[in-house]
Amino acid sequence: MSTVIVKVIGAVYKIPLTAYIGGVGRGYFAYAYNLCLPVHAITMGAFPIALSKLVSTYNSKGDTQMVLSLKKGSLGLFTVVGAVGMFVLICVAKPYSDLIAHSPKALYTALVLAPSVLFSCMGASYRGYFEGFLNMIPTAVSQTIDALFKMIFGLLFAKYSMAYLFKEYLLSGKILGEFAINDEVALSLIYPYTSAFAMLGATLGAFVSLCFLCVYSKIHSTKINNPLQTKIANKELLMFSFPIMVSTGVQSVFQFLDTASIQIVLGKMNILALKNMFSQSLNIVSISDADLPTYVYGVLSASLDFKNLVPGVTMALGVSAVPAISRAFEQGSGERLSALVNSIYKYTSLLSLLGGALLYLCSEEILTLFYGKNSYDIVVSSVALVKYFALTVVLYSLAGTSVFAVQAIGCAKKSILPYAVSGVIRVILNFVLVSDEHLVLYGAVISGSVGYAVITVWNTVVLCKKAKIKFDFLRSIIFPACLFLLVVYLCNLIFSQISFPFSIIGMIIIKCSISVVLFCILCFLCGMLNFREFFCDQISKKVQVKP
């Protein structure tokens, strides 16, 4: 639920933010996040998963002392990793901005974001510890606080920095000492600074989130009197974390190369080709030739905001299932493990396909609601792109679930190679497809879907072999996919016959309601859902522990 709230806050936050900083500013914003992605992936993915796995394992054995030692040792370890990550990010920010993003002023936004790496990594130690007990309250509250502060202060900083700098231009014709001959040049000079000020909200949110976790942990703390045990816990945490770190590191590096390859291609593309592809948008907003590649990448970033909503929600399902899968695997409960894994895959498919259907059917209304008033050019340029992403979100969701499941049974090393192969495939396809003047950003949709399909299939095979699971491919993948196609077809047929004399919000509510009801009815009729089967019961049935 907190993940849904955070994703909604993130989506709502991007609406006025884009109005303040524009499509070009969104490009700067995305550049900084892409640079920070590899470090954040390790801190927020690898370490918490490793810690929750070890805490769950030792708790099941009744070794309270080791559990508490893991808590103490992880904070110091995660702090060191966060500090190193922040330092690395600061060092590579300038070469990345100059050579890959082809946007030197993206440096400001990246530097402002750098401290958030340290804060997030320290917070991850607390989150991972409590997640090992299936206590998701600290994670839920902290990530909600993070999102709220990012939204509130990010918007305030962006709004007032834009107002101040534009007022300076009107009074003096300069932006921080640089002359601007007209409004277009002035905005081009302002966007990097307003993006950096907006990013300051994200760093502040990470810091306040860490403060909450510290207070929560103090309230629920227990003293440790055995320093030797803490050293042993540190060693085991490092040993167990290392393959996950490598796996996540490979994933994030290739994710970075994926986005970097798109940026490189866009930076080297013929400007006329980009103008032709986005001619309708450019009739609405005036963008200089120098800022056009950054604007196009900003359009992709705005589209990814909606695509990432669905995998972001299903990722919470995968993270929550890690301790349960680990426990069933450690206890050698093969039948329960098979049922648990198949349930996770099935519900991941159903949730992501339902989300994809809603996104596909309501893409124009949602984009108009978010960007129609202040940035209609993004609506025009993103509708088709969001529809294509909606058709592929299930692959991203299943890829995440398969990786979490493999890590939960202690086979993180096995997920490294599929990440590498997938990354190479995506980078190659980006250079081939995105550079095609008839595809451009649509090429990124194709490359991403192919790459994540490889990750899903490969990790699922590893999981089945290692855990000796009988995977129900028909009910976990095929049936949900068929229901998705049927719902999209029937809803398109229904909506084409109905005239909607409603506001945009009313249209979205009605379309979503019809789609959800139809999807649920078909799921019950096909036996994919029944009133006695609830995923939460399956996870918590035999896991009744408290920190």
Tokens of 26: 């969104």
Percent of the chain having pLDDT more than 70?
A: 90
Residues 6+ apart with CB under 8 A from 43: 78, 81, 82, 85, 117, 120, 121, 124
Tokens, residue 541: 């049935």
Phi-psi domain of 544 (left: phi exceeds 0; alpha: psi -120 through 50; beta: other): beta
DSSP for 315-368?
HHHHHHHHHHHHHHHHTT-HHHHHHHHHHHHHHHHHHHHHHHHHHHHHHHHHHH
Whether residue 29 is predicted with pLDDT greater than 60 in this model: the reply is yes
Mean local confidence (pLDDT), 262-269: 91
Q: What is the tens place of the pLDDT at every residue in 163-185?
A: 999 899 988 888 888 888 888 88
pLDDT of res. 199: 92
What's residue 541's pLDDT? 45
Q: What share of the chain has pLDDT > 90, as a percent?
A: 40
Distance of CA 526 to the CA centre of its chain: 32
Distance in angstroms (rounded) separating the CA atoms of residues 291 and 103: 9
Task: Tell me how far apart the alpha carbons of residues 163 and 169 are, in angstroms, rounded to a whole number.
Answer: 10
Q: What confidence score (pLDDT) does residue 429 get?
A: 96
Q: What amino acid is encoded at 473 in this protein?
A: F
The whole-angstrom separation of Cα 38 and Cα 240 is: 19
Can you tell me the distance from the alpha carbon of 448 to that of 456, in angstroms, rounded to the nearest whole number?
A: 12
According to the model, what pLDDT value does residue 508 have?
92
**CA geometry: angle at 79 spanning 78 and 85, to 5°?**
85
**Residue 546 CB: number of other CB atoms within 10 A?**
7
Digit-coded pLDDT (tens) for 182-196: 888 888 888 899 999
Calpha distance 269→276 (Å, rounded): 12
Which structure tokens are listed for 338?
């098979």
Comparing 132 with 399, the larger pLDDT belongs to: 399
Whole-model pTM: value is: 0.75
pLDDT at 539 over 60: no
- The per-residue pLDDT of the chain, averaged, comes to 85
Please determine, for residue 535, whether its predicted confidence score (pLDDT) is greater than 60. no
Single-letter residue type at 80: V
d(CA 80, CA 528): 46
Token digits of residue 487: 């719902």
Region 129-147 average pLDDT: 87
Identify the band that residue 545 occupies on the pLDDT scale cut at 50, 70 and 90.
Answer: very low
SS3 state at 25: helix
pLDDT at residue 547, rounded to an integer: 45
**Per mean pLDDT, which range of 50-64, 85-99, 410-424, 493-507 is the poorest?**
50-64
3-state secondary structure of 177: coil
**Looking at per-residue confidence, does 246 or 494 come out higher?**
494
Model confidence at 225, pLDDT cuts 50, 70, 90, reads low
Confidence of residue 538 (pLDDT cuts 50, 70, 90): very low
Question: Across residues 407-417, what is the average pLDDT?
Answer: 83
The sign of the dihedral angle between the CA atoms of 503, 504, 507, 512 is: negative
Hey, how many other C-beta atoms are within 10 angstroms of the C-beta on 500?
13
Do the beta carbons of residue 250 and residue 420 sit within 8 Å? Answer: yes
Asked if residue 330 has pLDDT above 90, the reply is no
Query: 362 pLDDT exceeds 90?
Result: yes
Is the pLDDT assigned to residue 534 strictly greater than 60? Answer: no
DSSP-derived secondary structure letter, 181: S
Mean pLDDT of 123-148: 87
AA identity, residue 104:
P
Closest CA to 3 of 351, 241, 259: 351
Joined tokens for residue 361: 């059917």
What is the mean predicted confidence (pLDDT) over 278-304? 88
pLDDT band at 532 (very low <50, low <70, confident <90, very high): low
Backbone phi and psi for residue 541, each to the nearest 5 degrees, phi listed first: -55, -45
**Lookup: tokens for 362:** 């309501």
